Amino acid sequence: MASAAIQSSPTLDKISNLHPCFSGKAHMTRGRIHLPVSPSCNIGCKFCKRSLTKTEMRPGTAMEIITPEKALELLDKALQICSEITVAGIAGPGDTLATPHALKTFRLIHEKYPHLICCLSTNGLLLERYAESLVEAGVRTITVTVNAVDPDILKDICSYVVLNGQQYVGKEGAALLIEAQKRGIKKMAELGAIVKINIVLIPGINDNHIGEIARTVKDLGASIINIIPLIPQHQLSHIPAPTCQELAKARMEAEEYLPVFRHCRHCRADACGIPGKKDLAELLYETRGIQETFSHG
């Protein structure tokens, strides 16, 4: 299965014409849907505050958590009202590999809509474990959030890591996550997927580390980088968002190694439509409030 997937893998140039989250060319013309099937997370990022809400426009938020079967129903509806959709993505609101729902959803989508690009966002902790299953389920593009490749820096960004039922904190947890991310990125690239790296730019913590991250992920097989300015909240609410100058500097440093995507809009986990042009998410959901399956742990 994996070898066949490699032979049919897309190139970054081809994806650039179809994926609004990988290319400025497609950002204003192609649509995507994010399906919020992933309720829980296995790491504790100090800037992450996940919630079920209609009003906040940022990652980690959704109107509700849905089942894989419901996700397919919503995709059916979304394609009827937005013919420009080329990408079916899963980006939370928890980590997509912390529960089995994302993988099941992709299998359903790939069977019914094999022409759609299946795209996954993850923290990468379990990426190596599920890499071959993801490719077999049709995932051809993947985004991994890598905020540092030095445990001394990452320990100030990530509070804990939970793996196989055990919690790791501090530098030990940070080192475990970094090594898992490296193995997962390398594995997905070897299987033919296009890997994008998200970096949350945090002034005073990782802002002088961007070039090292970019160099490392390029060597692992990543194809493109997206630098996301910090939203000051949760445990990092005291740190201001980076200035335009700081963001530009970080992008220039990353661009010495890989192309940089410059159109990120902090999309919600249930976003739908053409980014920056048409938002259709509220047409898809009948919000029933916070569900007991949602977890911040």
Whether residue 196 has pLDDT greater than 90? yes
Digit-coded pLDDT (tens) for 224-238:
999 999 988 888 889
* In a domain? residue 204: no
The neighbouring-strand residues paired with 88 are 33, 118
Structural domain range at position 127: 2-197+265-284
- Continuous segment of H or E residues that includes residue 180: helix 170-190
- pLDDT, greater one: 79 or 4: 79
* In a domain? residue 232: no
Whether residue 4 has pLDDT greater than 80? no
This prediction has a pTM of 0.86
* In a domain? residue 67: yes
The neighbouring-strand residues paired with 141 are 119, 194
pLDDT band at 20 (very low <50, low <70, confident <90, very high): low
The backbone torsions φ and ψ at residue 185, rounded to the nearest 5 degrees and listed phi first, read -60, -45
Whether residue 289 has pLDDT greater than 50? no
> What's the confidence (pLDDT) of residue 261?
85
Contact 269, 60 (CB under 8 A): yes
* In a domain? residue 193: yes
- pLDDT, greater one: 295 or 97: 97
- pLDDT, greater one: 206 or 277: 206
CATH number for the domain that contains residue 280 = 3.20.20
Among the residue ranges 51-65, 143-157, 184-198, 255-269, the one predicted with the least confidence is 51-65
Q: How far does CA 294 lie from the centroid of its chain?
A: 18
pLDDT band at 9 (very low <50, low <70, confident <90, very high): low
How many domains is the chain built from?
1
For residue 229, say if its preceding peptide bond is cis, omega within 30 degrees of 0.
Answer: no
The neighbouring-strand residues paired with 61 are 51
- pLDDT, greater one: 255 or 267: 255
* In a domain? residue 296: no
- Continuous segment of H or E residues that includes residue 205: none
> What's the confidence (pLDDT) of residue 10?
60
* In a domain? residue 231: no
* In a domain? residue 161: yes
* In a domain? residue 63: yes
**278-279 and 272-274 beta bridge pairing:** antiparallel
Average pLDDT, integer, range 230-255: 92
The CA distance from 201 to 198, in Å, is 9
pLDDT band at 278 (very low <50, low <70, confident <90, very high): low
The CA distance from 137 to 106, in Å, is 6
Average pLDDT, integer, range 18-45: 77
